[in-house]
Each structure stands twice: as C-alpha cells, then as structure tokens.
Structure 1
Amino acid sequence: MANVIVFDLYGVIARTQSPEDRARLVELAGVPGERLWEAYWACRPAYDAGQDGAAYWAEVARRLGVRFADVPALIAADLDSWCRVDDDMVALVHELADRGHRLGLLSNIIEELVPYWESRHADWLGRFAARTYSCRIGVAKPERRAYEICAERLGVTPAEVLFIDDNEANVAGAREAGMTAELFTTLPRLRTVLPPAA
C-alpha cells in the first residue's frame, strides 16, 4: 500500500461553507440563492486556476445579468467563508507525519486564500512535503495534469499515491491519473483505508 498520502483541503481538512456563510453571500449579492450558486460554481474553475477575484465576480455578474453593488464585500465574505479547519483532521495530519508518511496537499484554491492558509496554518501545513495549489499551477482537479504535477512535486509516480478527496469527480480523476483514491466521508471511515506506519 502507498506510503505517500495526498489530501484535498476543502471538505477534508478544511470545512466547507456554513449555511450562515452562504446566506451572507446571497444577501450581499442580492440574487436568489439557487441562481447565485449556479453561477458561483459554474464560474469557479477559472478562479481556481488563477483568475483574480474582481474578474471572477464580474463573470458571475455577467452570467446572472446583474451588477453587484459591493464587489469588495463579496470578495471578503467569500474568502472568510473558506477559512475554517476541522481540528480532528489537523490532528490526523500530524499523526500521519509522525508515523513516517510522506504527505502532499492538492487543492483547488483561489490565489487570495493561499496567503491566509500559509500564514495562519504554517504549523500543520509544514507537515506536507509538497503543497500543490490549482491557482499556482494553472490547472485544477479533476484534470489529469493536476495529479501528475502533485506526484512530481512529491518525487513519486501517481501509482505510489493514496489520494483522499470529498468530491467523487476528483476521486475519479485521481484514479484515471493512476493514483489509488478514496472518497472522504468521515474520519472513522478514512482510518480504515489508511496504510500502516511507514
């Protein structure tokens, strides 16, 4: 079994947006929730691959046929909504690193969020031998090249990696790239598929 474990960030180690976060974005946008989220996610791949925040929200507005009153507030609220961690998963990162596993991170993440995570969570992020961010490589999961770049940065082939993600499309993409991949649902379930100590 692979000794190299690559984690997704959001939905695995970091928490996804809370209902309160989502309600705040809907309020600021002034657009009904269902319409906003369709445009929000449809426009997200370019943002994850390096587009700046103002351009992203301009594209969301264009898709919706609206004009947002306060784009800086939308950007700030959006960033804040993606900045919480699951402490139990952070503890697992430390545990696995202490047991001798080589860890990697592969995240679809916007550029504005990277400095936040790097400055405020350096302790546990430092346990990863390679941190691969979509915004900095210009390609996002589930595109094959994202997984290949991550493996290259870890100095291994994709076949040597166990990849963990909460998104089925990203898990399928990892498998197509040659990785062993598992869908994250809960920490107890994850523990049943993790390799023994290195």
Structure 2
Amino acid sequence: MSDVIVFDLYGVIARTQTDEARREIETRAGLAEAGVPAPAFWEAYWDRRPAYDAGQSSADYWAAVAGRLGIAIPDVPALVEADLNSWTDVDDAMVALVGELADRGRTLGLLSNIITDLIPRFEARHGSWLRRFAALTYSCRIGVAKPDPRAYLICAERLGAAPADIVFFDDNAANVAAARAVGMRAEVFTSPEGVRAAVGA
C-alpha cells in the first residue's frame, strides 16, 4: 500500500468540457462567420495547447490558434472567459474520495496540465478540497507539462517522496506510461472504485 497518491486533475477529479461549453467556445471564436469547421478549430486548439499548459499567455495562445486557422478572433477576452468557464466543474464522487483518503492519513499530490489564468478561478471555487493536497504541481508554474518526465520528478520532489513510493492516476494512457518510465506505479483512471481498489482504501 502506498501512502503517497498523486492525481491528475482533468478527467480524474475535474470534469472535461461539456458539449454545451464547446459550442459556446466555437461561437466566441467566430467560427461560423469565418467559415471554419469545428473539427479544424479543435485540432488547432489542442495542437497549440502544450505551450499554453507550460505557461504561455492567453493572448499568445489564442493568437497562435488564430494564426494556424488564418482567422481573426472577434473578441479574445470573451473567448478566454468561455474557455476558462469550460474547465471548472468537478466530479463530486472524486472530491469525496480525496477527503476520505486525506482523513485516513494518505499523502496526496496533484499533477495537472493547466493554464495560468485558470488556476485562481479554479482555486477560488474549489479551495476547500484542494487544501487537502500536500503539493499542487501545475504545469504552467513549472514550465513543463506531462508527459515530460521532468513534470513527474518535480512533483515527487515537492512531495518529498521517491517516484517508486508514489501511485499516480491519470485518464491519459500516454501520461501513465511516462509516469511508469520515471519509476512511479501508475494506473489509467477509470472510476473512484478503481482508485480505492488500487490503493487499498
């Protein structure tokens, strides 16, 4: 049984974007007016995301997306707002599990690919349970994002634990493979029940 448990945020504790939120982003980006199909927009959105996760400014990120698509975004602040709002919902069952594990004395860490502007909004809304984590390792603040091995090693160092003493959960198989490569025990997240089984809770 490992006493040090590290979670990814999005797709594990926090929810990913809903269809409604994605449509709002598409509207704010002016896709219909520019004649840009939604799949092309989302390809550019994700292709340019690694630099954003590693600390790039919102203005530079959206300029890069617009440049790839060859469009002018009509209202960048409104688009930024829609994007930030799309990443603030959580899975209540996982939040409850975080509290349960912390109450049992398990050391918890968070390792998230997340953009700078989102952190204060997310922490303001969810600070009560984020305080249960011994270390919050955000990609935008360390300058590297998963699956870069440095992200995992920085997280382990902040927790004062060897990688071999950590069990890590992520919904992305590539991130899980990278965690295993640095020596962590890592599992693809499927459900709170799967976490309980893996950590002996």
Aligned equivalent of 2:63? 58
The gaps in structure 1 that reach 5 residues or longer are: none
Aligned equivalent of 1:45? 50
- CA distance in 2 between partners of 1:174 and 1:105 (Å): 13
Q: 1:124 aligns with which of 124, 129, 136?
A: 129
Secondary structure of the corresponding residue to residue 121 of structure 1: helix
- Pairwise CA distance, 1:27: 1.8
2:107 is the alignment partner of 1:102: yes
- CA distance in 2 between partners of 1:117 and 1:78 (Å): 13
The gaps in structure 2 that reach 5 residues or longer are: none
2:145 is the alignment partner of 1:140: yes
Q: What is the number of residues matched between the two proteins? A: 196
> TM-score, normalization: structure 2?
0.95
- Pairwise CA distance, 1:195: 3.0
2:33 is the alignment partner of 1:36: no
Aligned equivalent of 1:72? 77
Q: 1:180 aligns with which of 176, 181, 185?
A: 185
Aligned equivalent of 1:19? 19
Q: 2:94 aligns with which of 89, 101, 104?
A: 89
- CA distance in 2 between partners of 1:85 and 1:37 (Å): 22
Aligned equivalent of 2:7? 7
- CA distance in 1 between partners of 2:11 and 2:46 (Å): 15
- CA distance in 1 between partners of 2:158 and 2:187 (Å): 21
- CA distance in 1 between partners of 2:122 and 2:71 (Å): 32
- CA distance in 2 between partners of 1:195 and 1:112 (Å): 36
The superposition leaves residues 122-175 of structure 1 with CA deviations (integer Å, 9 ceiling, x where unpaired) of 110000000000000000000000000000000011111000000111101101
> TM-score, normalization: structure 1?
0.96
Aligned equivalent of 1:157? 162
Secondary structure of the corresponding residue to residue 105 of structure 1: strand
Equivalent AA in structure 2 for residue 14 of structure 1:
A
Equivalent AA in structure 1 for residue 10 of structure 2:
Y
- CA distance in 1 between partners of 2:136 and 2:58 (Å): 22
Q: CA RMSD in A?
A: 0.9
